[in-house]
Structure 1
Amino acid sequence: MLMDPESAPFAIAFFLGMVLFLELGRRIGRRMHADTPERAPTGVGAVEGAVFALFGLLLAFTFSGAASRFDDRRHLIIDEANDIGTAWSYLDLLPVNEQGRLRDLFRAYTDARIATFEKLPDVAAAEAELARSIALQDEIWKQAIALCEAKKDTATTNLVLGALNEMNNITTSRTAATRIHPPPTIFGLLFAMGLCSALLAGFGMAANPKRSWLHILGFAAAIALCVYVIRDIEYPRLGLIRVTATDQVMKDLRASMK
């Protein structure tokens, strides 16, 4: 499972880079103003507006995509809990004296699924729990087939195996969801466009002979904070923004498996 531990360093580097480019843009502007004080540059406003608009769109679309994937991951947790709960309830259709072993496997499987995501950001431990849950899936499937064949009831077989199939499929969906992120090129472009915007913003500040640190630091901090939140939402098992509250649904399900 791919995790990104670099949201905070990325945001800090972005903030420092923007402060640097704001100052660089201001110095370029001051130098041009000193060389030709009587002539103001023409067409700068249109260029600045286009770059800022493009940067704003890139921020908006990146944030929207991250928020959408965040919601998808939460819904998948709920879907998995529902699928496991449905399969668990269908075990009642099997012979009572043969259910014990299968129910024990279900409890172990649910524990493994919870642990798979609780172990993050320890990727090795999470992968081990994922492998254990897949092995338990295979064992549950084999046991269920054997019991269904023993009962020889088509309706029971369809219900039980159909529910188990849904339970198995959602595992793949959740695993894939943890690995789906924008390509690094997107964040690289976001970084580059931010620096370009800072350069132009600094150039626009050059008319004032005194630096306005409030505007310089405020502008850089606001953009860096937005980028940090985007990356934090994109990797919700690591930073301040997490999906762990939704994990309680799986824990409640496990507690109900008496």
Structure 2
Amino acid sequence: MSFALQVVVFALGLFAGIVLFVEIGRRVGLAHLAREGRGLTRGADAAEGAVFGLLALLIAFTFFGAAQRFDDRRELVADEANAIGTAYQRLDLLPADAKPELQALFRRYLEVRLVTYRNAEDRAATQARLDQGYALQDQIWEKAVRASQRPGVPASAAMLVIPSLNEMFDITDSRVAATRHHPPRVVYWLLASLCLIAGLLVGYSTAVNADRSWLHRFVFAAILSLTVYVTIEIEYPRLGLIRVDSADQALIDLRQHLR
């Protein structure tokens, strides 16, 4: 089952669970009313407020963190495009006979970087493309260093070319780290559990009403489950339906300039 489908199933299951827990809470409340005849439990507002406050805090924390990391990943793609473009331009400082081979390696490297995360669910293929990129980095580094150390090449050439290559290579590691930087899965299970508990409390509180309000319980469940769904999608933008692929346009545009 694909990641996108797993998230949809999780969200639908959460929606159904919240609706079910609202009904369970209502029945518990009705049973309490029938048994006690003095109304629902008094003094429970503080406990309910604490649960809903914690739920709101956790939703805000996870959503804001996911959105921030989503933006960071987009910026890293733009930074990588800028770093590759700058390093490519500085090849002009090297001897003319060394440039064609290095430029060809840069174009191959850019092509590999473009497809590295195209199918991130296939971890083996993604790792193979990463390894291919690292191999090209080694070739670029070796040939650039050798060219910059030739007799007659100004020392300023190495001072400009080598740091630009370092920056280009470092961003690769930063992007790899960004793809692995996620909150622990237990955070999302805690969030889902709080949503169910909130549904239980809502159902219990509405037991005093003679009629069920299906509209309110469906809207309540839909809002919570949709929020969790979007949060997870944003957290994993290379796997689900909400994707960061549009950021790759910076690398695609750069490819046009390197030809």
Q: What secondary structure does 2:116 align onto?
A: helix
Instruction: Quote the Cα distance in structure 2 between the aligned partners of 1:84 and 1:240.
Output: 29
- Could you tell me how far 1:179 is from its partner in structure 2? 0.6
1:156-196 C-alpha deviation (Å, 9 max, x unpaired): 01111110000000000001101100001111111111111
What is the aligned partner in structure 2 of residue 10 from structure 1?
10
1:39-58 C-alpha deviation (Å, 9 max, x unpaired): 44211222211111110111
What is the aligned partner in structure 2 of residue 160 from structure 1?
161
- Does 2:148 match 1:145? no
Structure 2 counterpart of 1:249, which letter? A
What is the aligned partner in structure 2 of residue 244 from structure 1?
245
What is the aligned partner in structure 2 of residue 43 from structure 1?
43
State the 4+ residue runs in structure 1 displaced beyond 6 angstroms.
Answer: none
What is the aligned partner in structure 1 of residue 192 from structure 2?
191
Q: Indicate if the aligned counterparts of 2:29 and 2:40 stay in contact, CA closer than 8 A.
A: no
What is the aligned partner in structure 2 of residue 85 from structure 1?
85
What is the aligned partner in structure 1 of residue 66 from structure 2?
66
1:184-210 C-alpha deviation (Å, 9 max, x unpaired): 111111111111111101101111122
* Count of residues in Structure 1 that have an aligned counterpart in Structure 2: 256
- Could you tell me how far 1:4 is from its partner in structure 2? 5.0
Q: Indicate if the aligned counterparts of 1:120 and 1:237 stay in contact, CA closer than 8 A.
A: yes
**What's the % identity of the aligned pairs?**
48
What is the aligned partner in structure 1 of residue 218 from structure 2?
217
Structure 2 counterpart of 1:130, which letter? L
1:119-171 C-alpha deviation (Å, 9 max, x unpaired): 32322222111111110000100010110111542110111111000000000
Structure 2 counterpart of 1:200, which letter? L
User: What TM-score do the two structures reach when normalised by structure 1?
Assistant: 0.96
Instruction: Quote the Cα distance in structure 1 between the aligned partners of 2:3 and 2:241.
Output: 13
Structure 1 unaligned residues grouped into runs of 5+: none
Instruction: Quote the Cα distance in structure 1 between the aligned partners of 2:60 and 2:233.
Output: 15
Q: Indicate if the aligned counterparts of 1:4 and 1:235 stay in contact, CA closer than 8 A.
A: no
RMSD: 1.3
